[in-house]
Amino acid sequence: MVCKVFIFLLILVGLGLRIEGYAQKADIVKAKVISERIDSSFEDKDFVNQSMEVRILEGINIGQVVTVNSSVNRSKAIDLYEKGDNIYLIKGMEGEYFFADRDRLPQIGIIFGIFFIIVVALAGKRGFGSIVGLASSVLIIAFYIIPQIVNGQDPFIVSLQGIFVAALVSFYFAHGFNRRTTIALVGTIITLVLAGVIAWYFTRLLSLTGSYSEDTAYLQRGVLENLDLRGLFLGGVMLGTLGVLDDITTAQVAAVEQLKKANFELDMRRAVCEEL
């Protein structure tokens, strides 16, 4: 469970780094809150409107102070912003700025560090190797798969390429350089190929497009105007499949190996049947 949470945190950090990289293209800039107040004239009884003066920290208008507003549900007033908080702004067509979201990367970095210490403390060298393998997978996602998708490449093909490389690196770092890991890796790759073919076929058979709401339509605007939602859907399926297979294949191979060691008269087929 710890490793799965760790993977999730790494992905968040990786995605955050990519967001930082593409922010300027999408007219998104980071800013710091220098003062804030609650707008008492705001009449909506369900929301609180917060007016903030912020200093822009990047872009061509770095150092400029602007005023932006953020509305928060009264039941979530704890989410109001304070002086010193970092936020993201969107630049409008006429040069005005609008509130976008909170900058959460520092907090994610703290949680990342805590989990790093816990994993290494509990699992030692093997835990550190697992972290290196997991980190390499996230780096591939953040610095290869996502940029290629943003640049208009087929998300399905790009995801498959990245997944195969991620599996190769993460398996050996996480589970060691031995025959058992190699067998698990080969089984994983074969299963990924079969899963990819099945997913591709049934996606077209069922006419799944990957578009199901207004949110997905917004993804195809700006720098993502060439985004293939169907390919993105298939790429997500493959990434999820790899996450499942990483645990299953290594556990199955280890179980069969132990059964074989316990009874040398078992052939491979009988060992697999005994394990099942």
For 190-249, write each residue's pLDDT tens digit: 998 898 899 889 888 888 776 666 666 666 665 566 777 788 888 888 888 887 887 788
Annotate 50-112 with three-state secondary structure. EEEEEEECCCCCCCCEEEEEEEEEHHHHHHCCCCCCEEEEEECCCCCEEEEEECCHHHHHHHH
Average pLDDT of the chain? Answer: 78
User: Residues 121-158: pLDDT tens digits?
Assistant: 988 888 888 888 888 888 888 888 888 887 878 888 88
Rounded (to 5) percent helix, strand, coil in the chain: 60, 15, 20
In 3D space, the residue among 23, 9, 107, 12 whose CA is nearest the CA of residue 62 turns out to be: 23
Full-model pTM: 0.62
In 3D space, the residue among 119, 149, 85, 105 whose CA is nearest the CA of residue 14 turns out to be: 105
Structural domains of the chain in order of their starting residue, each with its CATH number: 28-91 (2.40.50), 106-275 (no CATH)
